[in-house]
Copies of this chain bind each other. A is one copy, B any other.
């Protein structure tokens, strides 16, 4: 019997989450004898609760294909975590009502660790509430912190963007350092895990060595040691770049960004950690600095997405549908690395019970002993993930990104307060 599918994007979006959506929808279309309409949740799981279901069958094949090269979450995402069945049975009952009303038998959830937990809970609905549903999680997170899978779609493209930006800005500082700026500080994402900061280390290559100091959230910040390291590099090379993770913190756990900055009226101002680090360098070492904050640019930079990342994002979406058609429930497709050089990988699967709420940190052997750099093992791990360029099409100098029509399916149920 043909069942419809529900697909939703969850949490912070990425440059390639839509490539996963593309994989899900194109694979469902290719199996229309077994999967009917793919409904996408408007603004993530909230769309399911609110019965705001985007009817993707009304989007053309060309529009769906263009998702592969469009950053952000084309159907809208949300930061919303389902409570447990015990705590909020009402929400699960609503989900079942909506799924029933729209003949939905497949649930594809595209997100990170928190979302894997939601997906896991939905996957239990068959057993717990007698509603037949197959829930498959599609991995996505720029933080690269999901367990079991070798890496997470979304990360490779951020890594490529940060590596290139660090290289380019370092070339800039190198040319200015004689009479002007000597230190460039780049703030990157990663509140708990330093994967993105580590990518800054790729800017330095054997052919083109660049003095880089990385500040990881995994390593307690030591101001004295840090300043000595920066100063030594400036003395040796004339300049230095610093890549600082937003999660960098003092030994007492306080983030560098929380420095008690106050405006003229005494209000606290949260200013990011890059200016804090930069001011420290100026005050203590007297070096002229510049600083940048990559923020959303890093995770939206589809214009320089990694080809291997795009390919894997699509493959994860495709595999999710294929697993569902094989009868699987409560799993997540994974990227299993076969070899790094040359890069080979295959698709595996992981039970959601082992994925939900587990965070994968940088292993200690990926960080150099001084705590400021990446090891060769780390480089070997990271390099394949930024391999290849997957450029979007352009028109009049700008990328041609797609917007969905987002036509909602007719509601069949009474309103529900989310």
> Is B176 a contact partner of A13 (Cβ separation < 8 A)?
yes
Is residue A171 within 8 Å, beta carbon to beta carbon, of the partner chain?
Answer: yes
Query: Is residue A296 contacting chain B, with contact meaning CB distance below 8 A?
Result: yes
- Could you say which of B205, B274, B398 contacts A202, with CB atoms under 8 Å apart? B398
B293 touches A398 (CB 8 A): no
Contacts of A391 in B (CB 8 A): 389, 391
Cβ contact within 8 Å between A394 and B398: no
Q: Which bracket fits the contact residues of A?
A: 35 or more
Distance between Cα atoms of A75 and B403 in the complex (Å): 44
Q: How far is the CB of A23 from chain B (nearest CB, A)?
A: 18
Tell me which residues across on chain B come within 8 A of A236, comparing CB atoms.
none
Q: Is the Cβ of B401 less than 8 Å from the Cβ of A383?
A: no
Chain B residue numbers with a CB within 8 Å of A383 are: 396-397
User: Contact at B262–A179, with CB atoms within 8 Å?
Assistant: no
A73: interface (CB < 8 Å) = yes
Q: How far is the CA of A27 from the CA of B89 in the complex (A)?
A: 76
Contact assessment for A397 and B295 in the assembled complex, using a CB-CB cutoff below 8 Å: no
Q: A14's closest neighbor in chain B, by CB?
A: B172
Interface residues of A in 288-340 (CB under 8 A from B): 290-297, 299-304, 306
**Given A295-B169, A304-B303, A383-B397; A79-B180 close (CB under 8 Å):** yes
Q: Which among A173, A174, A269 has the highest number of chain B CB atoms within 10 Å? A: A269
A sample of 17 inter-chain contacts (CB < 8 A) reads A13-B175, A75-B175, A77-B175, A78-B178, A79-B179, A79-B180, A167-B399, A168-B302, A169-B296, A208-B403, A261-B271, A263-B279, A269-B275, A292-B293, A292-B296, A386-B397, A389-B394
4 smallest CB-CB distances across A and B, nearest first, come from: A292-B295, A73-B175, A72-B171, A386-B397
For the complex with contacts A72-B172, A72-B174, A163-B397, 10 further pairs of A-B residues with Cβ separation under 8 Å are A71-B171, A73-B175, A171-B401, A186-B297, A259-B264, A260-B264, A261-B261, A271-B271, A272-B275, A275-B275
